[in-house]
């Protein structure tokens, strides 16, 4: 259970009665309450003993540690999740999707996979969906081949990397090549942990621990933590579908429900080692997206397989409390002019992208006025009073469209034809035209309308 303010205050100087205000809070109690809610940090109180400070930091740490792989804008953050079920609040850090590259693959295949990571990007609802990492595997068992692969990939891409080798020497030699990129070094096991700990501490980067079961993981993470190593990713070693679900669920529940620190880390899943064909591999990957993996490693991919997985990840890791929306403003579509038609819609992201796509499909350059409906679609926004004449009128006046066009004709969605009268009152001088009920009808509707205007 997370520490409460009332528990914290007892650990503060003079049992929370010093009240010297040096932390910026009027009392120790106020500081304790803020600390418990994450609004301040332990180091703001200069009078804590190192033991109490360490105890509080440990108790206040998130139940699943945030781990960062890679550096800079391409880095991947995983962990720090707060709920077991998405509908309780939201899942926060989407799992990284990695492509596996083996050192027995040809140079051409290596290049192809590096290029796939770079090239397979999909625009959707204003975001770019793409995979995130490359996992480099020492399958040959030869140090030199692995080193050559790591060097080549390191030089050709700035993607975050996972290094995989059963040979501890080869693993840390590879780590040395790309340590500045903060790769995930995998696997640390019961067999190599004593040899690995001093090497990890030499150049700290995240490490992936692999056990035969959950008990092994507890042993490994405890040992690493005692050595001062905290950036850990868990692999319980399960390689069958059912066991993987059981392990992932157990780890998540232990971390969140029991606040069990030895399992309070993000996990990694390997569909690439669990399925014999592409379809099964992507089904396993889809399971890992739902069931808590922080990283999912695929053997290879194509556009048709990757896109559904990325869309699934987007859906699961979108905050269900906040509808996806776009900025309320005037959007220009296809080099609009002062004669171009003006259309109106709501700012739910899906509405915007469908409507703007259909306008593009009509090949009629247009202005699209997107009103803030707090992420609601047209009909829902109308029912909630956010898409009425009273609210649209002031928006049209202020959004700047009157300076962009000579005419005063506004096309409204057919589903809210009933607001035509209200709008005519709210926007004197404007002609209100009822457009199609469905966006799919826009490509037929717009060119016809524009031809009528021209004749
Ligand atoms: S600095 Fe420490 S002792 Fe002083 S009021 Fe804040 S919490 Fe209390």
Contact 28 CB / ligand 1 (< 6 Å): yes
Q: What is the pLDDT of residue 125?
A: 74
Average pLDDT over residues 410-435: 96
Number of folded domains that form the chain: 3
How far, CA to CA in Å, does 275 sit from each of 203, 240, 270, 281, 286? Answer: 34, 9, 9, 5, 13
Residue 324 belongs to some domain of the structure: no
For the Cβ of 5 lying below 6 angstroms from any atom of ligand 1, the answer is no
Of all protein residues, the one whose alpha carbon is nearest to atom 8 of ligand 1 is 28
Read out DSSP for 88-125? GS---SPPEEEEEEETTS-HHHHHHHHHHHHH-EEEET
Residue where one domain finishes, among candidates 60, 81, 102: 60
Which atom of ligand 1 is closest in space to residue 22's alpha carbon?
1
pLDDT beyond 80 at 3: no
For residues 424 and 392, state if they share a domain: yes
Would 363 be classed as within a structural domain? yes
The mean pLDDT of the chain is 94
Give the C-alpha separation, 146 to 107, whole Å.
13
> Residues 193, 208: one domain?
yes
Closest Cα partner for 173 from 143, 128, 152, 197?
A: 143
Ligand 1: nearest atom to the Cα of 28 = 8
Q: Establish whether residue 8 lines the binding site of ligand 1, counting it when its CB lies within 6 angstroms of any ligand atom.
A: no
Select from 284, 316, 348 the last residue of a domain.
316
Among 225, 201, 205, residue whose Cα is nearest residue 69: 205
The pLDDT value given to residue 216: 97
Q: Are residues 146 and 169 in the same domain?
A: yes
97-149 pLDDT, tens per residue? 999 999 999 999 999 999 999 999 998 877 899 999 999 999 999 999 999 99
263 lines ligand 1 (CB under 6 A): no
The continuous run of DSSP H or E covering 210 comes out as strand 207-210
- 204 and 309, same structural domain? yes
Positive/negative CA dihedral, 322, 63, 42, 93: negative
Ligand 1 pocket residue status of 20, Cβ below 6 Å: yes
pLDDT of residue 193: 98
- 313/288 Cα distance (integer angstroms): 10
pLDDT of residue 126: 74
pLDDT value, residue 12: 94
Ligand 1 midpoint to CA 230 (Å): 29
Residue 161 sits in the same domain as residue 309: yes
In a domain, 164, yes or no: yes
User: Which range of residues forms the domain containing residue 445?
Assistant: 330-454
For residues 40 and 102, membership in a common domain is answered with no
Residue 217's pLDDT is 98
Cβ(297) – ligand 1 distance below 6 Å: no
Pocket test for ligand 1, best of 11, 13, 15 (most atoms within 8 A of CB): 13
- The best mutation among 18, 42, 49 to test binding of ligand 1, ranked by most ligand atoms within 8 Å of the C-beta, falls on 18
Judge if 302 and 376 occupy the same domain.
no
Same domain, 365 and 383: yes
- My answer on whether 207 and 305 are in the same domain is yes
Q: Whose CA is nearest to atom 2 of ligand 1?
A: 45
Residue ending a domain, choose from 60, 78, 104: 60
| pLDDT tens-digit series, residues 136-190 | 999 999 999 999 999 999 999 999 999 999 999 999 999 999 999 999 999 999 9
DSSP state at residue 183: P
Report the alpha-carbon distance of residue 446 to residue 101 in Å, rounded.
49
Q: Is the CB of 265 under 6 A from ligand 1?
A: no
Report pTM: 0.80
CA of 89 to the centre of ligand 1 (A): 33
38 CA → ligand 1 middle, Å: 16
- One domain for residues 23 and 158: no
Regarding the beta carbon of 21 and ligand 1, being less than 6 Å apart is answered yes
User: Band of the pLDDT at 1, cuts 50, 70, 90?
Assistant: low
Closest atom, ligand 1, to C-alpha of 19: 5
pLDDT tens profile 221-250:
999 999 999 999 999 999 999 999 999 999
Place of tokens 């069990």: 260
- Whether ligand 1 lies within 6 angstroms of the CB of 17 is answered as no
Mean of the pLDDT values across residues 266-289?
95
Q: What is the pLDDT of residues 308-347, one digit of tens each?
A: 999 999 999 988 888 888 899 999 999 999 999 999 999 9
Average pLDDT (378-405) is: 95
């Amino acid at each position: 259970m997370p520490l409460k303010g009332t528990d914290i205050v007892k650990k503060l100087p003079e049992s929370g009665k010093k009240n010297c205000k040096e932390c910026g809070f009027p009392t120790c109690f106020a500081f304790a309450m803020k600390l418990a809610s994450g609004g301040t940090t332990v180091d703001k109180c200069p009078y804590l003993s190192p033991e109490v400070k360490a105890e509080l930091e440990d108790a206040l740490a998130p139940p699943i540690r945030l781990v960062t792989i890679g550096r800079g804008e391409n880095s991947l953050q995983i962990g720090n999740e707060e709920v077991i079920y998405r509908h309780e609040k939201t899942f926060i850090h989407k799992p990284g999707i990695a492509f596996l590259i083996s050192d027995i693959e040809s140079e051409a295949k290596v290049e192809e996979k590096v290029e796939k990571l770079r090239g397979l990007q999909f625009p959707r609802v204003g975001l770019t969906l793409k995979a995130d990492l490359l996992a480099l595997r020492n399958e040959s068992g030869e140090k030199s081949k692995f080193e050559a692969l790591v060097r080549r990939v390191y030089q050709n891409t700035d993607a975050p990397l996972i290094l995989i080798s059963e040979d501890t020497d080869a693993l840390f030699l590879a780590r040395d090549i790309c340590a500045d990129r903060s790769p995930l070094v995998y696997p640390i096991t019961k067999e190599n942990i004593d040899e690995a700990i001093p090497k990890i501490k030499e150049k700290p980067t995240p490490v992936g621990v692999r056990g035969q079961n959950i008990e092994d993981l507890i042993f490994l993470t405890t040992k690493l933590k005692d050595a001062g190593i905290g950036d850990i990713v868990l692999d319980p070693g399960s390689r069958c579908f059912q066991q993987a679900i059981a392990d992932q669920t157990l780890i998540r529940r232990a971390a969140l429900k029991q606040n069990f620190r030895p399992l309070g880390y993000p996990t990694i899943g390997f569909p690439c080692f669990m399925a014999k064909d592409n379809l099964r591999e992507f089904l396993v990957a889809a399971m890992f997206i739902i069931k808590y993996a922080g990283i999912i490693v695929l053997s290879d991919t194509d556009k048709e397989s990757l896109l559904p997985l990325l869309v699934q990840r987007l859906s699961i890791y979108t905050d269900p409390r906040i509808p996806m929306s776009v900025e309320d403003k005037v959007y220009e579509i296809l080099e609009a002019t002062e004669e171009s038609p003006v259309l109106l819609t709501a700012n739910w992201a899906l509405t915007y992208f469908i409507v703007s796509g259909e306008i593009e499909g009509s090949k009629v350059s247009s202005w699209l006025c997107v009103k803030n409906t707090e992420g609601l679609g047209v009909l829902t926004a109308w029912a909630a009073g956010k898409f009425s004449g009273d609210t649209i009128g002031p928006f049209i006046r202020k959004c700047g469209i009157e300076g962009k066009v000579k005419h005063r004709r506004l096309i409204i969605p057919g589903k809210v034809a009933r607001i035509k009268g209200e709008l005519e009152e709210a926007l004197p001088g404007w002609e209100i035209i009822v457009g199609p009920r469905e966006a799919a009808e826009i490509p037929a509707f717009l060119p016809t309308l524009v031809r009528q205007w021209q004749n």
